[in-house]
Structure 1
Amino acid sequence: MVYKEAVDRFLEEINRKMYSDNTYRTYEIALYQYGKFCEDNKLDWKKKDTARKFVSYLVKGGYSPNSINLKISALSSFAEFCVDNEWLDKNMFVAMKVKAPKRLINYIPDETVDLLLSTIDDKYRPYIELMLYGGLRISEAVSVDSKNLYFDDNVLFCRVIGKGNKERITPILAPEEVKQRLSKLRKDDKITEGAVKEYLYRWSLKHGKHITAHMLRHTFATRAVQAGIPIEVVSKWLGHENLQTTMVYVTVTYERVKHYAKAVI
């Protein structure tokens, strides 16, 4: 049984069982990535060693343990389906799992941010900039219109309706030209959470990087803490109810300090 045919049969089965669109998409992406990895590296998709190499590739690619384990789970379900149909002798992903280290936030390195901003599609630019420069959640960013944005003493602020329908005010810490452009933003109903996530996924594949909407928000928070802004202020900007949730960004900056210290020694 060739890989593509097995995948098509498996996805038909998933579709027949009427799984949610998100679940179906998770399976589809994991299967596509595994197939492309095998094809690019001329590896046999049925081998346990190939599965291990794929997981190692994901780890080196910067995917979070949770994201990797989700892909492993999807691929393991596919492999079990193949075993049941006698296309495989054994499930090559069985009992495979990546351990999650102590939680550290994934922020985007400056050089990757520069690459993103220089290659981004203008259709998605304002929403990505709101997450990067304002720390908005993706659901909040796609809902913003010029009526939510205003200048006060040359600082651009955004009135955000966040979780639980709670309102907060957060500054947009962006270059002047970005602030001026965002202040004239007109909401596009065609730009949805799913559309932005899909765009970032395709951008990541094209450029060999790993960027998600939440990483943009993490990057905003990390930069704010590194700039010396009090943690309780950053917490309010992000809409965190618990200060402890924001404290993780202090850990991130400490890890970065250690990184640069080791580079000097």
Structure 2
Amino acid sequence: MIVLNENLKDKINSYLNKLKKSGLSDKSIETYKNLLNHFEIWAEDYGLLLDNLVLMETDIEKFIDYLKSKNLSPTTIKMVLNRTKELVEFAGGKWLADKRIYRKRSQTESAKPYSELELKQIFNHLKITNKVYYYLTLTLYGFGLRVSEAVQLLPDDIIEKENQIFVRVRPEISKFNKSREAPLILKGEYRDDFIDFIVKRKHPKLKDKTLFTYYNDVQKKIITLDRHNVKSYFHLLSKDLGINITAHRFRDTYISYMVAKGIKPITVSKWVGHKDVNTTLKYYTKLTTKDELEELQKI
């Protein structure tokens, strides 16, 4: 627990004044102030006082949980933590946490698969509000792709073999420069919508364009999705729906679905393009309860 005599707001102002004197722009100062406002609010609620300022790892874990509860993006959370650490050290205190704590908690959060209800909420919302991202999320989940792979797909990368739909990931867009194929797991209306989308995209005039290149009526120009604008959009969507939405969670859900179906690890590893089968095996050890397996089998 932290105890401080001086008001935390005064400490923050002193820290910001120091940065201003060092030549930091007014815009940057305002950004830092907004980031540190999260710490100020949390510190008051948590009961932190300001003397002998020492934040233990347990304190920082609780602060991270607070930031996540505000639906802040991982990037924003990292910025808040970095600025808070600087503030604590400026005030003569100690920040007793290894950087691995952020990475470990972030990976734990992102690796949690979507529930059936969450997927339906996301798909149904996007089907009405944003068709481009609707088809993107169907693609991410349906094939278990990395977002960097999905946004570079061409219409002819979606193929049919033995009455099954597959994606063909070209070497130049895969993470490890190795081609692979993976089956589509979409069902019902979502599968039908995806197939209709692909049929339209295979039109001769569109075949050379990536699947997620489109004309934006508002900006009056052609837009090609990339992983950066996808990340930004999902951050906003998370706030709208109250769900932690990341592109990688669709991939995690695909893998977890295969685990629940009893597919062999070596096969799943091949489909999703893991460099090492041990990466795939981690999903088999995480999904151990009967309830988790039954939930995923419903999807």
Same fold (TM over 0.5): yes
- 1:225·1:249 contact (CA, 8 Å) conserved in 2? yes
Q: Residue type matched to 1:223 in 2?
A: Y
Q: Following the alignment from structure 2 to structure 1, what is the Cα–Cα distance between the partners of residues 33 and 142?
A: 34
How far apart are 1:174 and its partner, in Å?
1.1
- 1:134·1:173 contact (CA, 8 Å) conserved in 2? yes
Judging changes above 3 Å, is the alpha-carbon distance between structure 1 residues 61 and 170 closer, same or farther for their aligned structure 2 residues? Answer: farther
Q: Following the alignment from structure 2 to structure 1, what is the Cα–Cα distance between the partners of residues 80 and 137?
A: 29
* TM-score, normalising length: structure 2: 0.62
Which 10-residue stretch deviates more, 132-141 or 51-60? 51-60
- 1:150·1:156 contact (CA, 8 Å) conserved in 2? yes
How far apart are 1:41 and its partner, in Å?
10
Which 10-residue stretch deviates more, 66-75 or 180-189? 66-75
Structure 2 unaligned segments of length 5 or more: list them. Answer: 1-8, 202-210, 214-222, 295-299
- Give the 5 Å matches for 1:199-218: 199-218=233-252
- Aligned residues between the structures: 240
Q: Please give the secondary structure, in 2, of the residue aligned with 1:157.
A: strand
- 1:131·1:141 contact (CA, 8 Å) conserved in 2? yes
Q: 1:169 aligns with which of 162, 165, 181?
A: 181
Judging changes above 3 Å, is the alpha-carbon distance between structure 1 residues 199 and 69 closer, same or farther for their aligned structure 2 residues? Answer: closer
- RMSD (Å), alpha carbons: 4.5
Q: Which residue of 1 aligns with 2:193?
A: 178
- Give the 5 Å matches for 1:16-95: 35=37, 54-58=63-67, 70=78, 73-79=81-87, 83=90, 89=91, 94-95=95-96
- 1:172·1:179 contact (CA, 8 Å) conserved in 2? no
- 2:64·2:77 contact (CA, 8 Å) conserved in 1? no
Judging changes above 3 Å, is the alpha-carbon distance between structure 1 residues 180 and 6 closer, same or farther for their aligned structure 2 residues? Answer: farther
Which is higher, the Rg of structure 1 or of structure 2?
Answer: 2
Q: Residue type matched to 2:183 in 1?
A: P
- Give the 5 Å matches for 1:235-250: 235-250=269-284
Q: Please give the secondary structure, in 1, of the residue aligned with 2:230.
A: helix
- Residues 1:128 and 2:137 are matched in the alignment: yes
Q: Following the alignment from structure 2 to structure 1, what is the Cα–Cα distance between the partners of residues 20 and 231?
A: 22
Q: Residue type matched to 1:210 in 2?
A: N
How far apart are 1:108 and its partner, in Å?
1.6
- 2:141·2:253 contact (CA, 8 Å) conserved in 1? yes
Deviation string, structure 1 residues 89-143 (Cα, Å, up to 9, x no partner): 455x822464848x76321222211211121222222222211110000100000
* TM-score, normalising length: structure 1: 0.69
Judging changes above 3 Å, is the alpha-carbon distance between structure 1 residues 47 and 150 closer, same or farther for their aligned structure 2 residues? Answer: farther
Q: Which residue of 2 aligns with 1:111?
A: 117
Structure 1 unaligned segments of length 5 or more: list them. Answer: 17-23, 84-88
